[in-house]
């Protein structure tokens, strides 16, 4: 298992202030917001030489934002699964959190290689609803709902990958690896649902 770097820890700490107050119910809105922002930027202007570089950095920063939203979600999956003593699935959630955090650092490094500055902005308005679970069945219901956000995240990555393929193939390949991990995490979530159902 890898080690979460200082940058990833700082990002997670910034996001952790929103854990209480219903961050889980806000995930789908966050993911859809990132996807919308990326699509609007991609469609805004033609890919003229000067703009391609700027747009590439912008898209990578949106990928960073999306990645950090997923890091927080996966971390909450681990914490809650461990609380209900579903140890095997909780361990897989933890491993995915670590790997996702490592991907954040890859994106940051690549943005800097391109001469850009990593940025992360998230609406600080409190989320709606609560993630506190009183039962395993309630957590299972949340996992089922959150699978929708996982699907949207994978789609958002696919759209970034498609646009970057002709502009920056290295960035495209990097995001494709991240998208694959997102799909793996969805499989772990399905596994959790299967474990709790049986």
Q: Give the pLDDT means over successive 10-residue stretches in the chain (198 positions).
A: 38 39 61 84 68 87 90 83 75 84 91 89 40 74 80 90 91 92 81 65
Predicted local distance difference test score (pLDDT) of residue 18: 39
User: What is the secondary structure of the chain as a DSSP string?
Assistant: -----HHHHHHHHHHHTTSTTTHHHHHHHHHHHHHHHHHHHHHHS---HHHHHHHHHHHHHHHHHHHHHHHHHHHHHHHHHHHTT-HHHHHHHHHHHHHHHHHHHHHHHHHHHTT---------S--SS----SSHHHHHHHHHHHHHHHHHHHHHHHHHHHHHHHH-HHHHHHHHHHHHHHHHHHHHHHHHHHHHH-
Predicted local distance difference test score (pLDDT) of residue 108: 93
Domains of the chain listed by start with CATH number: 6-197 (1.20.1260.10)
pTM of the full structure: 0.75
């Amino acid at each position: 298992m890898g080690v979460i770097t200082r940058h990833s820890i700082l990002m997670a700490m910034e996001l952790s202030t929103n854990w209480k107050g219903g961050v889980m119910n806000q995930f789908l809105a966050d993911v859809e917001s990132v996807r919308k922002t990326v699509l609007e930027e991609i469609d805004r202007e033609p890919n003229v030489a000067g703009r391609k570089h700027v747009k590439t950095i912008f898209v990578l920063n949106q990928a960073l934002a999306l990645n950090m939203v997923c890091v927080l979600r996966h971390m909450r999956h681990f914490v809650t699964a461990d609380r209900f003593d579903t140890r095997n699935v909780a361990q897989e959630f933890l491993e995915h959190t670590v790997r996702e955090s490592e991907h954040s650092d890859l994106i940051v490094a690549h943005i800097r290689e391109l001469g850009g500055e990593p940025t992360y902005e998230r609406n600080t308005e409190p989320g709606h609803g609560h993630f506190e679970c009183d039962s395993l069945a309630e957590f299972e219901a949340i996992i089922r709902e959150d699978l929708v956000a996982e699907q949207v995240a994978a789609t958002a990555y696919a759209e970034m990958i498609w646009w970057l393929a002709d502009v920056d193939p290295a960035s495209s390949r990097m995001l494709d690896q991240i998208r694959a991990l997102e799909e793996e995490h969805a499989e772990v979530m399905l596994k959790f649902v299967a474990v709790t159902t049986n």
